[in-house]
Amino acid sequence: MQKVLLIAGARPNFMKVAPIWAEMQRRPSEFAPVIVHTGQHYDAAMSDAFFDDLGLPKPDIHLGVGSGSHAVQTARIMTAFEPIVLEQKPDWVVVVGDVNSTIACALVCAKLGVKVAHVEAGLRSRDRTMPEEINRILTDAISDLLFTTSQDADENLMQEGVSDDKIRFVGNVMIDSLQAHLEIAERSKVRIDLGVEGSDYAVLTLHRPSNVDDRTTLAGIIDALIAISEKLPIIFPVHPRTRAKIDEFGFDKNIAASGLRLIDPLGYIDFLRLYSGAKLVLTDSGGLQEETTVLGIACLTLRHNTERPITIELGTNVLVGTDPDKIKQAASDALSKPTTKTNIPPLWDGKAAGRICNELIRS
Ligand code: UD1
C-alpha cells in the first residue's frame, strides 16, 4: 500500500489531480491518496467550484497560504507543508504542472529525502521571464520520477542531463479529465444563459503577468479583441488578476461598448461546455492549448512562445504573439477557413492516470 500526497494548489492543478485521485480510489489495495490543498488559489470560483465539478472530495489537508509575492507565497507553502510531510510520512508526493505550489512542495520533499513525482514534466518555453518556466526547470531537477505528456518533453529533460530511467512518457492526464466530463458538460446551460447557443462566438482567457500587468501590452491586446468582437462576440471569463488590471487601467468603459463580454470565472464543466462550442479560442493559458487541440477547435495563443509545441505540430494551435495587427490578422484567417482535422497527440487518450499509478507502484 502506497501512501501518496497529491498536491493541489492553483486552478490549473485541479483537473490534473482529479483523475489520479479517482484512479487511486479505484485501487484501494494499492493506494491511500491524501489531497493537500496549498490554498494558492482560494476564491470559490477559482477553487471550490473545480473540486465540486471534478468530483474531488474536500481536501484532506488545507494549508491556507493565499496570495503573496513569489518569494512569500513559495516560502509560506514550504513552511506549512514541511510538518505535514514529517507527520504523514508518505511513500510518494505527487506534484503537477508548474505553479508555485509545485516547486514549493517538491523542494520540501527533496530536502527531506521523500520521493517526489512530477506530472507534466519536461515542458519548456525557453522563456525564463515566465515564473512557470523557473518552476518547471527546478521541479524537474529535483524530482525522482518525471511523468511526461509528449516526447519533446523527454528530449528536453535528457538535454538537461536527466537520466532517462527517471522519465516516463505516460500521456496527458488533463485529457483524462476532459474526456471524463465531455458528456456531463452537455447538461450545462452556460451557452443558453449567455445567449450564444447555436451561434458563432469566440472564447478568451488572459491572465499571464506579461500580458496583463503592463498597461501598453494589455491596451494593445484589448484593442485587437474589441476589433475582432465586431465580427463575433467574444466571451471572456476574467481571471481576478486581469480584472484588477482592467479596473486599474480604466479599460472597462471601452470594453463595455464592444462585443467583448466580461463574465466571472467559470467552473470546469461550464467552461468546458463554453469553449467546446466556440468557433475560435484566444488564450495565453497552457492547458487550453491542449484542450482545443484534442477537440479540434481553432486556438490562437497570445504569447511569443509555448512550452507545448506539439499543439502546433499536431494540433490546432497557432502562436500569434501580442502585436494587435497580428492578432487581428490571425483571427481573420482562422475565421475565414474551417479548422482542418488535426491529430490527437500520442497517449492523450484518457488513460494517463492509470499509467501514472502503475509507474508509482513499479518505481
Ligand atoms: C497562477 C500560476 C499560473 C497559472 C494561474 C492560473 C504561479 C507562479 N502562477 O497565476 O501559472 O496559470 O495561477 O490561474 O503559480 N487571486 C484571487 N483569488 C484567487 C487567487 C488569486 O483574487 O483565488 C488574485 C490575487 O490578487 C493574486 C492574483 O490573483 O495576487 C494572482 O494570483 P497568483 O496565484 O499569484 O497567480 P496567478 O496569476 O493566478
DSSP string, 198-210: TS--EEEE---HH
Contact 167, 154 (CB under 8 A): yes
Asked whether residue 57 carries a pLDDT value surpassing 80, the answer given is yes
pLDDT digits 0-9 by tens, 120-156: 999 999 999 999 999 999 999 999 999 999 999 999 9
| Shortest-distance Cα residue to atom 30 of ligand 1 | 67
| Shortest-distance Cα residue to atom 3 of ligand 1 | 99
Residue 338: pLDDT band by 50, 70, 90 thresholds?
A: confident
Q: What is the 3-state secondary structure (H, E, C) of 103-120?
A: HHHHHHHHHHCCCEEEEE
Q: Where do the H-state alpha helices sit in the chain?
A: 11-25, 48-53, 70-88, 100-112, 131-142, 151-159, 173-185, 190-193, 209-212, 215-228, 240-249, 252-256, 268-276, 287-295, 310-313, 324-336, 352-362
- Report the nearest atom of ligand 1 relative to the CA of 102: 15
CA of 156 to the centre of ligand 1 (A): 27
Contact 6, 94 (CB under 8 A): yes
Contact 33, 18 (CB under 8 A): no
- For residue 284 the three cell numbers come to 495565453
Most distant CA pair in the chain, distance? 59
Known catalytic residues are 207
CA of 172 to the centre of ligand 1 (A): 23
Q: Is 45 exposed, middle or buried (0-12, 13-18, 19+ CB in 10 A)?
A: middle
Quick one: pLDDT at residue 337? Answer: 84
| Packing angle of the helix pair 268-276, 287-295 (nearest 10 deg) | 50
- Report the nearest atom of ligand 1 relative to the CA of 10: 13
Quick one: pLDDT at residue 77? Answer: 98
CA of 241 to the centre of ligand 1 (A): 7
- Report the nearest atom of ligand 1 relative to the CA of 41: 23
Is the pTM value of this prediction over 0.85? yes
CA of 41 to the centre of ligand 1 (A): 6
Residue whose C-alpha cell is 479596473: 247
pLDDT digits 0-9 by tens, 239-286: 999 999 999 999 999 999 999 999 999 999 999 999 999 999 999 999
DSSP state of 277: T
What residues line ligand 1, using a CB cutoff of 6 Å?
A: 10-12, 40-43, 46, 67, 98-100, 131-132, 207, 239-241
| Shortest-distance Cα residue to atom 28 of ligand 1 | 241
Q: From 15, 16, 40, 288, give the residue whose CB has the most ligand 1 atoms within 8 Å, as the site to mutate.
A: 40
| Shortest-distance Cα residue to atom 13 of ligand 1 | 10
What is the enclosing helix (H) or strand (E) of 167?
strand 167-169
Cα(232)–Cα(191) distance, rounded to whole angstroms? 15
CA of 129 to the centre of ligand 1 (A): 16
